[in-house]
């Protein structure tokens, strides 16, 4: 009898254990229960990487472009104010004066005629005249387009020291053109002085007919003193 | 022989017992001990007083249902977040693009307005170019007459020295030739040139006695900024 009782108890215990393990299994979630949340997370990640991040980057670039455009508007507004402040009539008059003093072209013949005429007025006789077009590199710049254009040539005259000095003074201070003097030699032969020098006159050719509204603009009115000099020199040429 | 009547009596009793009289008695359910818990796995079926035909959820099922509920709520919240984030990002994108397009239109109008004034700009730039050339060219230009007069004044101060040849080069490098009556005047001239505030350097290149006079050649450099003039008259 005890053997039978033990067997029955064992069977009973086994059944209870099975039932308990069944209960534990039933509390766990199955794959079918969590598949939708996993899918949602996957979709979120894919959308984030391939859609949201590029959209955010694009929106940020729009913002940057917007800031640039606002800056350009500000620049244009200031340019408009500056240009409106310039009187058209005065501007044209100043331009004509500047073009007379530093013309768009400087003919060698015109320039040499002026120099020779001046020398004759000062009582000097010419012994050598020659000239030609030159292109001078601006200092420190070697790229194409950064040149100063001019007419230059060696000259030689003879006369008294006073006349020679007067001639030099007129070239320097009273010339209507922008002139530089180089390699000056003054030599006395008895009472006659021989003066030899190299003179250069400058011109600015016609520039492009369009202007970049976004480039840095400096109104010429900032240099009123030189504009007045141009006005004085231009009146000498008339 | 004696067994036969007992057997017959027994058989009679048995026969008599086989057809009992039906007595109506109420059917009572088997008694359930009150303190005894239902067996595991059968709690939702076995109720306290009978069999539950619409079973309630077992504890395990309740736990599972709770977990599923939490998961589903999580999924819904995730979806909501996804939708809100999408709306925000797309909205931000659209608003930025619209603002940019508006500004571009404004800029275009501005550019058209300013472009009409470019002739003024071109004229001003032409004048400015000439002004810059003027400054560049004349920034290192000196009056040759003022240099010659200056050297002559020093020669006059020195005594009998006279200058008969002037050579002026770039950066006011000079060579002067002249004559004097004696060496004393030459040295005095040299002294005055060396100590002049506008003189940078000066050397006596050569000196020679020609019988009646002393010839000299000086080479040197004047300080350029002392002879520059920023504007011409």
What pLDDT is recorded for position A227? Answer: 92
pTM, to two decimals? 0.62
Residue that the structure tokens 């100043």 belong to: A94
Rounded Cα–Cα distance for residues A211 and B118 (Å): 6
Distance from CA of B81 to the nearest CA of A (A): 9
Rounded Cα–Cα distance for residues A107 and A230 (Å): 19
Contact residues, chain B, for A27 at CB < 8 Å? 60, 63-64, 67
Q: Which CATH number fits domain A92-205+216-237: 3.40.30.10, 3.30.70.60, 3.40.50.300, 3.40.1180.10?
A: 3.30.70.60
**Is there a contact between A65 and B100 if contact means CB atoms under 8 Å apart?**
yes
Spatial contact of A128 and A153, defined as CB atoms under 8 Å apart: no
Spatial contact of B173 and B140, defined as CB atoms under 8 Å apart: no
Q: What are the tokens at A59?
A: 């929106």
Buried b (16+ CB within 10 A) or exposed e, B15-50: eeeeeeeeeeeeeeeeeeeeeeeeeebeeeebeeee
Going by C-beta distance under 8 Å and a sequence separation of 6 or more, which residues neighbour residue A155? A115, A119, A126, A128, A129, A196, A197, A198, A199
Distance from CA of A3 to the nearest CA of B (A): 24
Q: What are the tokens at B172?
A: 């006011």
Contact residues, chain B, for A79 at CB < 8 Å? 114, 121
Rounded Cα–Cα distance for residues B24 and A237 (Å): 153
Spatial contact of B199 and B222, defined as CB atoms under 8 Å apart: yes
Distance from CA of A107 to the nearest CA of B (A): 17
CB atoms within 10 A of CB B222: 23
**What is the secondary structure of B144-202 as a DSSP string?**
HHHHHHHHHHHHHHHSS-EEEEEEE-GGGEEEEEEEESSHHHHHHHHHHHHT-TTEEEE
Considering only CB atoms, A95 lies closest to which of B67, B71, B126, namely B126
Task: Pick out chain B residues at pLDDT < 70.
Answer: 1-55, 229-233
What pLDDT is recorded for position B31? Answer: 53
* Helix axes B59-115 and A53-85, enclosed angle (nearest 10): 20
Contact residues, chain A, for B137 at CB < 8 Å? 148, 178, 180, 202
Rounded Cα–Cα distance for residues B210 and B183 (Å): 12
- A223: Cα within 13 Å, side-chain hemisphere: 24
Q: What are the tokens at A57?
A: 């980057």
What pLDDT is recorded for position A142? Answer: 40
Rounded Cα–Cα distance for residues A86 and A90 (Å): 8
Rg (CA), chain A: 46
**Is there a contact between A213 and B115 if contact means CB atoms under 8 Å apart?**
yes
Q: What are the tokens at B3?
A: 């067994």
**Is there a contact between B123 and A91 if contact means CB atoms under 8 Å apart?**
yes
Residue B168 φ then ψ, to 5°: -115, 125
- Model confidence over B37-52: pLDDT tens digits? 555 555 555 555 666 6
Strand partners of residue A238:
none
Spatial contact of B216 and B189, defined as CB atoms under 8 Å apart: yes
Contact residues, chain B, for A178 at CB < 8 Å? 133-134, 137-138
Distance from CA of A158 to the nearest CA of B (A): 14
**Is there a contact between B131 and A72 if contact means CB atoms under 8 Å apart?**
no
Contact residues, chain A, for B40 at CB < 8 Å? 16, 19-20, 23
A-chain residue closest to B83, CA distance = A44
What pLDDT is recorded for position B15? Answer: 47
Contact residues, chain B, for A219 at CB < 8 Å? 124, 128
B-chain residue closest to A163, CA distance = B145
ipTM: 0.71
Contact residues, chain A, for B133 at CB < 8 Å? 102, 148, 178, 202, 204
Distance from CA of A121 to the nearest CA of B (A): 17
Instruction: Please report the domains of chain B, with CATH numbers, ordered by start residue.
Output: 144-226 (3.30.1360.100)
**Is there a contact between B40 and A223 if contact means CB atoms under 8 Å apart?**
no
Considering only CB atoms, A79 lies closest to which of B114, B167, B169, namely B114
**Among A131, A132, A151, A154, which Cα is nearest to A204's?**
A151
**Is there a contact between A102 and B123 if contact means CB atoms under 8 Å apart?**
no
pLDDT along chain A (238 residues), means of 10: 77 82 70 77 84 90 93 92 92 91 81 86 82 64 60 88 89 78 88 89 78 87 90 80
**Among A109, A12, A90, which Cα is nearest to B124's?**
A90
Strand partners of residue B166:
A186, B176
Contact residues, chain B, for A44 at CB < 8 Å? 78, 81-82
B-chain residue closest to A178, CA distance = B134
What pLDDT is recorded for position B43? Answer: 55
């Amino acid at each position: 009898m005890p053997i039978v009782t033990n067997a029955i108890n064992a069977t009973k215990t086994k059944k209870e254990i099975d039932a308990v393990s069944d209960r534990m299994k039933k509390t766990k979630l199955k794959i079918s229960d969590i598949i939708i949340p996993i899918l949602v997370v996957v979709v979120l990640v894919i959308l984030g990487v391939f859609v949201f991040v590029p959209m955010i980057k694009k929106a940020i670039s729009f913002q940057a472009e917007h800031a640039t455009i606002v800056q350009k508007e500000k620049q244009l507004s200031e340019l408009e104010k500056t240009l409106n402040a310039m009187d058209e009539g005065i501007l044209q008059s100043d331009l004509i004066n500047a073009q007379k003093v530093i013309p768009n072209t400087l003919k060698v013949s015109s320039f040499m005629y002026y120099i020779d005429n001046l020398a004759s007025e000062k009582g000097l006789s010419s012994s050598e005249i020659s000239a030609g077009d030159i292109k001078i590199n601006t200092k420190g710049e070697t790229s194409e387009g950064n040149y100063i254009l001019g007419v230059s040539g060696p000259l030689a005259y003879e006369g008294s020291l006073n006349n020679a000095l007067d001639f030099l003074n007129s070239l320097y201070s009273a010339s209507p053109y922008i002139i530089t003097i180089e390699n000056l030699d003054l030599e006395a032969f008895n009472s006659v002085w021989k003066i030899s020098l190299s003179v250069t006159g400058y011109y600015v050719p016609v520039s492009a007919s369009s202007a970049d509204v976004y480039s840095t603009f400096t109104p010429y009115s900032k240099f009123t003193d030189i504009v007045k000099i141009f006005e004085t020199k231009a009146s000498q040429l008339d | 022989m004696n067994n036969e009547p007992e057997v017959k009596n027994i058989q009679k009793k048995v026969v008599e017992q086989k057809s009992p009289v039906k007595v109506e008695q109420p059917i009572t359910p088997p008694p359930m001990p009150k303190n005894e818990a239902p067996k595991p796995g059968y709690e939702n079926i076995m109720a306290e007083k009978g069999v539950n035909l619409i079973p309630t959820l077992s504890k395990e099922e309740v736990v599972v249902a709770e977990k599923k509920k939490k998961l589903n709520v999580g999924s819904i919240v995730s979806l909501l977040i996804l939708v809100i984030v999408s709306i925000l990002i797309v909205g931000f994108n659209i608003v930025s693009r619209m603002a940019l397009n508006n500004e571009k239109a404004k800029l275009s109008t501005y550019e058209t307005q300013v472009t009409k004034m470019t002739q003024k700009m071109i004229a001003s730039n032409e004048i400015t170019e000439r002004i810059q050339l003027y400054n560049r060219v004349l920034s290192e230009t000196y009056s040759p007459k003022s240099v010659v007069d200056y050297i002559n004044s020093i020669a006059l101060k020195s005594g009998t020295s006279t200058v008969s040849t002037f050579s002026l080069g770039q950066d006011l490098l000079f060579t002067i030739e002249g004559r004097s009556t004696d060496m004393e005047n030459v040295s005095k001239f040299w002294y005055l040139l060396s100590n002049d505030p506008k003189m940078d350097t000066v050397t006596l290149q050569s000196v020679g006695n020609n019988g009646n006079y002393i010839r000299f050649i000086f080479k040197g450099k004047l300080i350029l900024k002392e002879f520059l003039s920023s504007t011409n008259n």
